[in-house]
């Protein structure tokens, strides 16, 4: 059965205080993400020496942005172990998927 105290329309002061402390942070992360988007666009017009280098720079920025979304907006910064376990298994399988794709480049058969 659900505990009845959760049906209150008055905020739990500890929870409300805890959430309220993070509100400013959400705005700041949003601003940081917007800034990084501008940076990604600007860097795409800079010649870092090769196309590969430009891709690496863009992917580093995208990974940083994705990390901010996951850690702050999705609360992964302070999540339960069950969720981390799910994600670890997912990462292993996703890396396996990328490995399978990369193995195609090791195929010795050349068609042209």
Partner 1 sequence: MEIPYEVSARPDTGLYNAKIGIWLFLASEVMLFGGLFSGYVFLRIGAQPGYWPHGLLNVPVGMLNTLVLIASSVTVVLAWASLKMRQFTQYKIYMAITIACGLLFLIVKLTYEWPAKFHHFGVYIKKEALAKYEPYLGNSYLLAKGLAQRVEITGDLENPEAYNDPAVKEYDIRMDAVNAEPANPESDRPTFWPRPLSEKVAKIDKADVDYASMFFPRHSAYFGAYFLITGLHGLHVLGGLIVFTYFWLPVGADLYKRNPEHLANRIEVAGLFWHFVDLVWIFVFPLFYLL
In the complex, the residues that contact partner 1 under the rule CB under 8 A are 1-3, 6-11, 15-16, 19-20, 22-23, 26-27, 29-30, 33-34, 37-38, 40-41, 44-45, 51, 54-55, 58-59, 61-62, 65-66, 69-70, 73-74, 80, 82-83, 86-87, 89-90, 93-94, 97-98, 101, 104-105
DSSP class of 1: -
CB of 65 to partner 1, least distance (A): 5
CB of 97 to partner 1, least distance (A): 5
Please report the DSSP string for 51-74 in residue order.
Answer: HHHHHHHHHHHHHHHHHHIIIIIS
Give CA angle at 80 (76, 81), nearest 5°: 105
Cα separation, 80 vs 78, in Å, equals 7
Q: How many residues can be counted in the chain?
A: 112
CB of 108 to partner 1, least distance (A): 15
Angle of helix 51-68 versus helix 13-44 axis, rounded to 10: 170
Whichever of 98 and 108 has its CB closer to partner 1, that residue is 98
CB of 109 to partner 1, least distance (A): 13
Whichever of 105 and 109 has its CB closer to partner 1, that residue is 105
């Amino acid at each position: 059965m659900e505990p009845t105290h959760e049906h209150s329309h008055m905020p739990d002061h500890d929870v409300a205080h805890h959430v309220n402390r993070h509100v400013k942070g959400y705005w700041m992360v949003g601003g940081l993400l917007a800034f990084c988007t501008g940076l990604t666009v600007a860097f795409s017009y800079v010649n870092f020496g090769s196309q590969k280098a430009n891709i690496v720079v863009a992917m580093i920025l995208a990974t940083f942005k994705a990390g901010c979304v996951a850690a702050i907006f999705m609360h992964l910064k302070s999540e339960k172990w069950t969720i981390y376990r799910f994600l670890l298994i997912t990462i292993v399988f996703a890396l396996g998927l990328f490995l399978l794709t990369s193995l195609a480049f090791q195929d010795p058969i050349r068609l042209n």
